[in-house]
Structures are given as structure tokens and as C-alpha cells.
């Protein structure tokens, strides 16, 4: 699978959760009335079977007693958990995509840039603070034939074990793949302000962290209540993640095409 296909496969879960929330969103489950009576006749349900009718502007659904779904499960407070999981899935797709993108293209960039491969950026250098080489690995770097593959694999393995779930993660991967000022390029591709795009992605990631590590509760407050979450904000956050990753993919594909052209041109030029 290409990095884009990997992203879309993971991101589809977030979109599914948003669709599901929109279908199930309701202002109260209906258990009596003319519509329920007519559905009972249509389903040939017994008079004592409980039917729960879910109705909104885009969906009409009937939950039969055999399904065993408590009414409380479909209350707004419970359904909001679908939105929280959409945030988590969107951020997971973002991380997975960055990791896959780096693994797919890093060897091309190393082949092109050779010893000038590593970006001269303080944030990237700090990100790789924990990267180390054993004596045996250091000697492998002396081999011209193994050097590029070994170094690329080492970097990818390190990155995959570390957290890419931040706005810095996109910058790091983008710079490693030869994109100058990745966030600026992504924002320009989307015709949006860089600060705005970064903030939206960062807000989504921060909310993911709160959901995963704190159950989205305000643990510092006495009641430890859950933070409120709405469809509009979640839709915006998840969509922004999707747009950012697709923009980065377009930029990377164009950059890799340029890299390949340069590499092929070098091979055609005879060595003196």
C-alpha cells in the first residue's frame, strides 16, 4: 500500500464514526405514538415488544427489543463518545501516515543528498537526541554499499518507536524528505494561514491526548467532569487532519519525482 492508501484506510474509521454519530443523533428516543404503531404493524412485532424509534433529519431507525440496546446508550451524552473516538482515529491516521511516508521515501532522499541528508534544524536535531549506534552499527556505516539502507532503516525504526503525534512530527518528516518549511508549504497548498492550520491540528492532537490519557475529563477540577464536544468542532478537526495529510502527500509525490529525475540524470552523466 502507498502511504496515501495507508492514510485513507486508517482515516476512514474517523469518517465512519462521524457518519454514525450524525445518523444516531437525536432529541429523544420515541417509544409510543402513531409512527411506532405503524412500524409495529410493518414489522409484525408483538404488542408487548419494546420498539425504540430514532428520528432525525437524515435518518429513521427502529431498534427492536431483541437488540438489547438500552435507551441511555443513545442519549447525547453517550453518543458524544463517538465524536471523541473520531478524534482519536483521525490523529492515529495522521501518525500512521507520517511514519509510512517516511519509510517509503527516505531512501530516495538519502541517495540524492548523501552526507547532506540530515536537516540543519534544531527541532529535528532535538527529536533525534535519543538515537544511538552500537560499535557494530558504527562499523557498518563504513560500508559504502550498506550505508544508505542501514542509516535509513535506523532512522525509520527510531521514528516509528517515537511519537509523531504532534505538529513537530509533520515538520520533522517533511524536512527529512527534503521539503523546505513543510507547514508553510502545506498551508499554501490549502490556501490557508500557516498558524491557523497548525493550531487546528495541534488542538485536535491535544484533545486526543486528553481523551486517551484522561478520558477527556478535567481531572484538575473537583467534579472531574468530561469536556463537552460537538459535531461541528469534531468535523472541522478531523477534516483538517485529512486535508493536511493529503496536501503533504501531494507535495511529497512532487518532490520525490524531482529527486528521481535528478538521480537518473546523475546516472546518465559519465564519471570523469
Query: pLDDT value at position 272?
Result: 46
Query: pLDDT value at position 265?
Result: 85
Q: Can you read off the three cell numbers belonging to residue 202?
A: 495541534
User: Do the Cβ atoms of 100 and 6 come closer than 8 Å?
Assistant: yes
Domain segments of the chain as ranges: 3-11+75-268
Q: Which of 75, 39, 45 is nearest to 60 (CA)?
A: 39
Query: pLDDT value at position 167?
Result: 93
Query: pLDDT value at position 140?
Result: 66
Query: pLDDT value at position 248?
Result: 97
Chain center to CA of 24:
24
Q: Which of 252, 242, 245 is nearest to 180 (CA)?
A: 252
Query: pLDDT value at position 163?
Result: 80
CA distances from 51 to 26, 36, 70, 71, 248 (A): 16, 7, 11, 10, 48
- The pTM of the full predicted model, rounded to 2 decimals, is 0.87
pLDDT-flagged residues of the chain (< 70): 137-147, 269-272
Amino acid at each position: 500500500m502507498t502511504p496515501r492508501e495507508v492514510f485513507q484506510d486508517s482515516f476512514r474509521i474517523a469518517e465512519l464514526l462521524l457518519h454514525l454519530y450524525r445518523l444516531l443523533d437525536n432529541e429523544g428516543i420515541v417509544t409510543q405514538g402513531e409512527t411506532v404503531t405503524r412500524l409495529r404493524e410493518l414489522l409484525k412485532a408483538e404488542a408487548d415488544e419494546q420498539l425504540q424509534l430514532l428520528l432525525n433529519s437524515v435518518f429513521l431507525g427502529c431498534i427492536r427489543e431483541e437488540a438489547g440496546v438500552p435507551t441511555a446508550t443513545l442519549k447525547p451524552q453517550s453518543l458524544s463518545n463517538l465524536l471523541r473516538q473520531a478524534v482519536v482515529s483521525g490523529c492515529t491516521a495522521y501518525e500512521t501516515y507520517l511514519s509510512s511516508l517516511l519509510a517509503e521515501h527516505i531512501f530516495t532522499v538519502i541517495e540524492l543528498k548523501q552526507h547532506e541528508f540530515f536537516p540543519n534544524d534544531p527541532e529535528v536535531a532535538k527529536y533525534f537526541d535519543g538515537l544511538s549506534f552500537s560499535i557494530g552499527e558504527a562499523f557498518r556505516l563504513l560500508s559504502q554499499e550498506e550505508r544508505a539502507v542501514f542509516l535509513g532503516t535506523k532512522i525509520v525504526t527510531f521514528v516509528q518507536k517515537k511519537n509523531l503525534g504532534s505538529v513537530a512530527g509533520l515538520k520533522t518528516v517533511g524536512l527529512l524528505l527534503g521539503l523546505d518549511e513543510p507547514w508553510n508549504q502545506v498551508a499554501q497548498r490549502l490556501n490557508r494561514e500557516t498558524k491557523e492550520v497548525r493550531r487546528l491540528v495541534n488542538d485536535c492532537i491535544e484533545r486526543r491526548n486528553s481523551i486517551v490519557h484522561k478520558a477527556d475529563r478535567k481531572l484538575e477540577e473537583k467534579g472531574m467532569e468530561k469536556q463537552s464536544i460537538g459535531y461541528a468542532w469534531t468535523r472541522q478537526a478531523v477534516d483538517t487532519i485529512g486535508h493536511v495529510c493529503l496536501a503533504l502527500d501531494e507535495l511529497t509525490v512532487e518532490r520525490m519525482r524531482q529527486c528521481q529525475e535528478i538521480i537518473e540524470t546523475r546516472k546518465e552523466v559519465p564519471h570523469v
